[in-house]
Amino acid sequence: MNERKVKVTRRGADRLQNGHLWIYRTDVEDVPAGVEAGDVVALVDGRGRFLGKAFWSARSKIALRVVTRDEVPVDEGFLAGRLSDAIALRERAFGDEPFVRLVHGEADLLPGLVVDRYADVAVIQTLVPATDRRKALLADLLANALSLRTVVERNDVRVRELEGLAQVKGVLRGPEPGPLEYREGAVRMKLDVLGGQKTGAFLDQRENHLRAGEYATGRCLDCFSYAGGFALQLARRAERVTAVEMQAPAVALLRENAVLNRAENLEVVESNAFDYLRDRADEEPAFDLVVLDPPAFAKNKDALPAARRGYKEINLRAIQVLKPGGILVTASCSYHLAEDALEGLVLDAANDAGRRVQVLERRGAGRDHPVLLGVPETRYLKCFVLRVV
């Protein structure tokens, strides 16, 4: 099929040349009549030179998402090949690990597609019209490649509304998944792929959960605990762990996971983490390790000023409740808050608390969430392991 040609500006062409995959609507010069949301189009510059093929979005500010720089058909065979490449990368990095992110959107050169695997169940998110139109095909390709029992869609995310897509969730292939369980190292976790947050679990933090557990000792505190990814790893080594979570369904799941892992040294507190930290900030420092893993405070640029205040507040309070020599594991999944900005906020918080901070590790999302150079949006999670003196 000869795709219709879309002309982009010099600025747009330069952006592609520098490695990015997105073209904004302001850099689209000419769109032929009849091009519909989700179509594959050929990109050309002002001289008519071929630049690549891209998914077209009719509503989003991101009008074009490049899928290939080659003049090849973007068809079933193409998509199967890209999925095969993504699966092979995870097998190389993790062997036969059955709980992984299989596709990480642009980072796997499949814009607008996320796939998480939990053994014989896959959860997909089709976030742009092009992948949404092809979700039945994608579900079939995944089911066949991995002998999956069930493929679920978790398209109940607000970002789809920017593309003119409705929020939906349900089973695409196979029977209802039912209750599931997955593992992070020796820790067992219950899983609800249809009702839980994200696709049911926070796989991007899995390697950081395991790493934090290696620092655990004495008394530990996990704030914004959700299902206990950090808390349960800490409980394997610490004398006592307090996990703070304010959402009742997550609290219930966290308590189930504590029982599942026989973590009798894990105390679950249903509370706002800000309030919990503030109430203990004036007490004698009591914790040997504190984890801060909040939800994204800055979902867009406009929210950044308030987000900065929030991140500084929780880091200040966490530093105040840490014993000298204690470990702070602090994370942000807000793309709009850069790593150096988070580091600066932690420094400001430490100065306000009259403490000094040593950086032990700078970490990010797990290896199943690769970063594509040239597309900084694929690097969103920041995680510092710090020592507070």
Considering 175, 207, 225, which residue would you say is the last residue of a domain? 175
d(CA 141, CA 143): 6
Q: What is the pLDDT of residue 317?
A: 98
pLDDT digits (tens, 9 = 90+) for 371-383: 999 999 999 999 9
Full DSSP string of 232-277: HHHHTT-SEEEEEE--HHHHHHHHHHHHHTT-TTEEEEES-HHHHH
Is the domain of 62 the same as that of 193? no
Total number of residues shown for the chain: 389
Q: Examine the pLDDT at 196 and tell me if it is beyond 90.
A: no
Residue 69: is its pLDDT beyond 90? yes
**Domain match, 35 and 126 both:** no
Token pair of 230 as six digits:
């950090």
The rounded percent of the chain whose pLDDT value lies above 90 is 94
Residue 223 annotated among the catalytic residues of the structure: no
CATH number at residue 144: 3.30.750.80
- 245 and 310 co-located in one domain: yes
Residues 32 and 7: their CA atoms lie apart, in Å, by 9
Boundary-marking domain end, from 28, 48, 68? 68
| Same domain as 220, residue 161 | no
Contact (CB, 8 A) for 138 and 125:
no
Q: Which of 220, 223, 333, 383 is catalytic?
A: 333
117 and 211 together in one domain: no
Q: Percent of the chain beyond pLDDT 70?
A: 100
3-state SS class at 319: helix
pLDDT at res. 1: 56
pLDDT tens digits, residue range 228-264? Answer: 999 999 999 999 999 999 999 999 999 999 999 999 9
Strands 266-270, 180-184: pairing is unpaired
Number of H helices and E strands in the chain, helices first, is 10, 20
* Confidence class for position 299, pLDDT limits 50, 70, 90: confident
pLDDT, average across residues 73-81: 98
51 and 94 in a common domain: no
Domain span including residue 33: 5-68
- CATH number for the domain spanning 254: value is 3.40.50.150
User: Per-residue pLDDT for 197 more than 90?
Assistant: no
Residues 230, 167, single domain; the answer is no
What is the per-residue pLDDT for 148? 98
Assign 3 a pLDDT band (cuts: 50, 70, 90): confident
Q: Which of 136, 151, 175 is the last residue of a domain?
A: 175
Residue 38's CATH number: 2.30.130.10
* Residue written as token pair 């067992």: 188
CA-to-CA distance for 236 and 216, rounded, in angstroms?
8
Encode pLDDT of 104-144 as tens digits: 999 999 999 999 999 999 999 999 999 999 999 999 999 99
Number of structural domains, the chain? 3
Query: How do residues 223-234 score in pLDDT, each as one tens digit?
Result: 999 999 999 999
DSSP type of residue 134: T
Contact (CB, 8 A) for 361 and 389: no
